[in-house]
């Protein structure tokens, strides 16, 4: 990771190109420290996030490390989540303007960096997704807050299916604030660093009209077919529809973890009611601590990331077999001394 100041900007550049800049605990800790050090530094008026090279902004978290820890005592996994969520929360509550350049793959942990930022720049290369249910995990890093606040039932659709959307979709949904061509990003960063108080004018002057957002044509189907917070109802709606698009979504869901799809629906239902982002982080940390040591996460990582056979054997295997009691257990609060806490200032 490259952390430096440039003009009036603090710059944080993710720099693990071979891993598509996937976050580690050390990276989350470094971002936390940088944000804290710049908080009281009058020379730093804006913080910008981007990636140094490669084909994506950030593909997520260090899933192999988390899975290895989850298969054992879970200590390293819990430390990672605690630090990452502290970073997410600090960004959400940060007083100075923040800018994320969501160029290329922006998934999982990359979403957690981007969405708290005041300015979120999408490009023609942006590929946004929360694909966690495919590895027996759930959309975290604040997804229960952000996705539950998207129009219609788009958030629930994205959470369950892990669908990839592009920069035009992100702009249409409000996930991005601006749409710039990739070729204009270097100029945008240089101009913001030299004149931090003119961020809005700079981004507006370099923005271009986005192509038509494909997701707009799916909004009615999404609202109708993903209307319920009960997973079995979603399956039934997709089955009853009979259309090609509904059949494709049903096939997609058949490959996801029934357990963590149900976790995702409850997470968004709860997140929509929270008034404080810290409550979302506290909930997600408790859920993460439970899920990371369960069968589906270990199996999902094996099937998708390690062996790459893409044939996970979920347990429970069907939505009907995932009991309310199991989901209640996963959402059980942690003891106070183990619960997530925001990072202390100073």
Q: Are 104 and 125 in contact (CB under 8 A)?
A: yes
CB atoms within 10 A of CB 331: 15
> Which CATH number do you get for residue 267?
3.90.226.10
- Residue closest to 258 by CA, chosen among 216, 315, 312: 315
Q: What is the pLDDT of residue 89?
A: 97
Task: Give yes or no: 109 in active site.
Answer: yes
Residue 340 in domain: no
From 62, 132, 221, 299, the catalytic residue: 132
Residues in the chain: 346
**Per-position pLDDT tens, the chain of length 346:** 899 999 999 999 999 888 889 899 999 999 999 999 999 999 999 999 999 987 799 988 888 888 888 888 889 999 999 999 999 999 999 999 999 999 999 999 999 999 999 999 999 999 999 999 999 999 999 999 999 999 999 999 999 999 999 999 999 999 999 999 999 999 999 999 999 999 999 999 999 999 999 999 999 999 999 999 999 999 999 999 989 999 999 999 999 999 999 999 999 999 999 999 999 999 999 999 999 989 999 999 999 988 999 999 999 999 999 999 999 999 999 999 999 999 987 6
In a domain, 57, yes or no: yes
Q: What are 85's two structure tokens? A: 């969520």
> Would you say residue 342 lies in a domain?
no
| Owning domain of residue 312 | 2-330
317 to each of 133, 237, 258, 312, how far by Cα in Å?
13, 20, 7, 10
Mind listing the pLDDT tens digit for each residue in 188-231? 999 999 999 999 999 999 999 999 999 999 999 999 999 999 99
Any domain includes 343: no
Residue tagged active-site, from 140, 166, 169, 299: 140
Q: Report the DSSP pairing between strands 127-129 and 119-122.
A: unpaired
Structural domain includes residue 9: yes
- Catalytic residue of the set 104, 108, 109, 155: 109
Q: Which pLDDT belongs to residue 102?
A: 97
In a domain, 119, yes or no: yes
Q: What is the pLDDT of residue 193?
A: 98
Residue 280 lies in a domain: yes
CB distance 99 to 119 below 8 Å: yes
What is the count of structural domains for the chain?
1
Known active-site residue 140: yes
**Residue 38 near residue 75 (C-beta atoms within 8 A):** no
Q: Say if 344 falls within a structural domain.
A: no
Cis peptide bond N-terminal to 316, omega within 30: yes
What pLDDT, on a 0 to 100 scale, did the predictor assign at position 209?
Answer: 97
Which conformational region is residue 142 in: left (phi greater than 0), alpha (psi within -120 to 50 degrees), or beta?
left
Residues 60, 61, 70, 155: which is the catalytic one? Answer: 61
């Amino acid at each position: 990771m490259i952390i430096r100041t440039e003009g009036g900007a603090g710059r944080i550049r993710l720099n693990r190109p071979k891993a598509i800049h996937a976050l580690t605990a050390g990276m989350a800790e470094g971002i936390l420290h940088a944000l804290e050090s710049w908080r009281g530094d009058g020379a730093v008026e804006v913080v910008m996030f981007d990636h140094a090279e490669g084909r994506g902004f950030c593909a997520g978290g260090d899933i192999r490390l988390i899975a290895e820890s989850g298969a054992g005592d879970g200590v390293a996994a819990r430390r990672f989540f605690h630090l990452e969520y502290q970073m997410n929360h600090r960004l959400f509550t940060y007083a100075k303007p923040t800018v994320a350049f969501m160029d290329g793959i922006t998934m999982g942990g990359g979403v957690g960096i981007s969405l708290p930022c005041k300015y979120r720049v999408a490009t023609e290369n942006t590929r946004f997704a929360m694909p966690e249910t495919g590895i027996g995990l759930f959309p975290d890093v604040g997804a229960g807050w952000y996705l539950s606040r998207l129009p219609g039932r788009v958030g629930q659709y994205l959470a369950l299916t892990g669908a990839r959307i592009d920069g035009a979709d992100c702009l249409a949904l409000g996930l991005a604030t601006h749409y710039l061509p990739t070729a204009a990003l270097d100029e945008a960063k240089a101009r913001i660093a030299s004149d931090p108080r003119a961020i809005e004018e700079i981004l507006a002057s370099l923005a271009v009209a986005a192509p038509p957002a494909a997701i707009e044509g799916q909004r009615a189907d999404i609202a109708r077919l993903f209307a319920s917070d009960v997973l079995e109802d979603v399956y039934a709606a997709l089955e009853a529809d009979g259309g090609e698009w509904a059949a494709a979504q049903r096939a997609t869901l058949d490959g996801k973890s029934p357990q963590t799809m149900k976790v995702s629906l409850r997470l968004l239902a709860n997140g929509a009611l929270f008034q404080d982002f810290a409550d979302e982080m506290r909930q997600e940390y408790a859920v993460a601590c439970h899920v990371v040591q369960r069968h589906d996460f270990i199996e999902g990582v094996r099937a998708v990331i390690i062996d790459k056979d893409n044939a996970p054997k979920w347990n429970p295997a069907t939505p009907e077999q995932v009991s309310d009691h199991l989901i209640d257990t996963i959402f059980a609060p942690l003891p106070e001394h183990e619960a997530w806490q925001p990072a202390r200032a100073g």
